[in-house]
């Protein structure tokens, strides 16, 4: 996956988006094959530019939270696909030993403070992380990724107000995929210029079209630089959710013509077309790259299927502090009580 000799990052962006796209396709395959832990798998296909573009502006000391549709963001941040897939499959080899699953992956070593299945639930954590970074002078920024559905949650506005009031190094990133479950954004709010709400709180605010990953990356870099200097910001990335709310949702609330038109706003296809038309890289080389990525992601399924589930004895691991005694499992307690009779 060596980048061609060019001043543009587009090739690397394309490779990153293709990895996210292919990983998400394999997540769907894992579900169909019956190896996923649960059925509520939320794919980010169509949103790849938001993950790759924003994460390209992040530094090692930065932290972030994601929403329930966060696989691509974590992968863009540097997560290992096999460990991610194992987590989604509920296996011991996963990032959270199979206990977090698709919607609760976390990894402090990469600054991932946790995904959250509650709409808007992860947003306030970045205010605390931003305050910590400011006090400790780490130079880090904390980023909250969330969907347009969270724009109707009060906790977002409390968080934006506090971040602005305290000049925190925080960036709020709304991935506007046009739908909060089955409700289209223009049926949820009169003003769909979502960044304008942030301006009212005194934040730096931008809206960009997610079809172009370079545009997203440029806006993210500018806002991240400002946040690092104590001017928190808000970035809305407009894209289209290619499929239903979750893997098994056939989205009957959307007209097929709308879906067909929406999928033309494909950031992966757009980047590929730009690379070829500009003569940056021949299409055959991109085909080779795609095949390498497909093989890498195929291996994540084989890896996951071969792994074991977490042992019952690990039930309380990571729930209590290491020095605290673990509570007695109910089954053990029942066996002990019944043994007295």
Residue pLDDT, tens place only, 46-57: 999 999 999 999
210: how many CB neighbours lie within 10 A of its CB? 24
Minimum mean pLDDT among 5-14, 84-93, 241-250: which range? 5-14
> What is residue 143's three-state secondary structure?
strand
User: In this structure, which CATH number among 3.30.390.50, 3.30.460.80, 3.40.50.970, 3.40.190.10 belongs to the domain 10-340?
Assistant: 3.40.50.970
Render pLDDT for 327-336 as a digit per residue (tens, 0 to 9).
Answer: 887 888 888 8
Question: How far is it, in rounded angstroms, from Cα 56 to Cα 59?
Answer: 8
Percent of the chain with pLDDT over 70: 97
Render pLDDT for 282-311 as a digit per residue (tens, 0 to 9).
Answer: 999 999 999 999 999 999 999 999 999 999
Percent of the chain with pLDDT over 90: 85
Question: Of the candidates 41, 104, 108, 87, which has an alpha carbon nearest to the alpha carbon of residue 243?
Answer: 41
Render pLDDT for 177-229 as a digit per residue (tens, 0 to 9).
Answer: 999 999 999 999 999 999 999 999 999 999 999 999 999 999 999 999 999 99
Domain boundaries, the chain: 10-340
Which residues make beta-bridge pairs with 66? 115
Q: Is 148 exposed, middle or buried (0-12, 13-18, 19+ CB in 10 A)?
A: buried
CB contact at 8 A, 75 and 106: no
Question: How far is it, in rounded angstroms, from Cα 191 to Cα 65?
Answer: 26
Write down the pLDDT at residue 316: 82
pLDDT band at 40 (very low <50, low <70, confident <90, very high): confident
Question: How far is it, in rounded angstroms, from Cα 44 to Cα 34?
Answer: 20
Average pLDDT of the segment spanning 228-251 = 93
Which residue is listed with tokens 């795609």? Answer: 290
Q: What string of DSSP letters covers 200-214? A: TTT-EEEEEETT-HH
Average pLDDT of the segment spanning 54-65 = 98
Question: How far is it, in rounded angstroms, from Cα 176 to Cα 179?
Answer: 8
Dihedral sign, Cα of residue 265, residue 266, residue 270, residue 273: negative
CB contact at 8 A, 301 and 35: yes
Pairing state of beta strands 183-184 and 179-180? antiparallel
Q: What's this model's pTM, rounded to 2 decimal places?
A: 0.92
Average pLDDT of the segment spanning 272-288 = 95
Question: How far is it, in rounded angstroms, from Cα 129 to Cα 141?
Answer: 8
Write down the pLDDT at residue 4: 54
Question: How far is it, in rounded angstroms, from Cα 83 to Cα 303?
Answer: 9
CB contact at 8 A, 50 and 211: no
CB contact at 8 A, 110 and 328: no
């Amino acid at each position: 996956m060596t980048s061609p000799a060019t001043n543009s990052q587009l090739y690397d962006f394309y490779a990153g988006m293709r990895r996210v796209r292919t990983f998400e396709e394999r997540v769907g395959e894992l579900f169909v094959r019956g190896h996923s832990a649960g059925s509520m798998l939320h794919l980010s296909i169509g949103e790849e530019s938001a993950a790759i573009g924003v994460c390209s502006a992040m530094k090692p000391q930065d932290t972030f939270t994601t929403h329930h549709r966060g696989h691509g963001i974590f992968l863009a941040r540097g997560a290992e696909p096999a460990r991610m897939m194992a987590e989604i499959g509920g296996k011991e080899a996963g990032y959270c030993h199979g206990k977090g699953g698709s919607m609760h992956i976390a990894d402090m070593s990469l600054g991932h403070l946790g995904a959250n299945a509650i709409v808007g639930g992860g947003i306030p954590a970045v205010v605390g992380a931003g305050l910590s970074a400011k006090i400790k002078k780490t130079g880090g920024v904390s980023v909250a990724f969330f969907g347009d559905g969270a724009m109707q949650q009060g906790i977002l506005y409390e968080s934006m107000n506090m971040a602005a009031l305290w000049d925190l190094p925080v960036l709020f990133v709304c991935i506007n995929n046009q739908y909060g479950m089955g409700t289209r954004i223009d049926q949820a709010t009169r003003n769909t210029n979502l960044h304008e709400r942030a301006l009212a709180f005194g934040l730096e605010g931008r809206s960009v079209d997610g079809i172009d990953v370079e545009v997203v990356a440029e806006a993210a870099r500018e806002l991240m630089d400002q946040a690092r200097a104590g001017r928190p910001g808000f970035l809305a990335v407009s894209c289209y959710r290619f499929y239903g709310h979750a893997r098994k949702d056939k989205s009957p609330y959307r007209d097929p013509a709308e879906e067909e038109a929406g999928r033309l706003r494909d950031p992966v296809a757009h980047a590929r077309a730009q690379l070829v038309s500009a003569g940056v890289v021949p299409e055959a080389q991109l085909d080779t790259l795609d095949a390498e990525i497909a093989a890498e992601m195929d291996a994540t399924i084989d890896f996951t299927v071969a792994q074991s589930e977490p042992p019952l004895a690990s039930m309380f691991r990571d729930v209590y502090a290491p020095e605290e005694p673990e509570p007695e499992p109910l089954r053990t307690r029942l066996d002990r009580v019944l043994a007295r009779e």
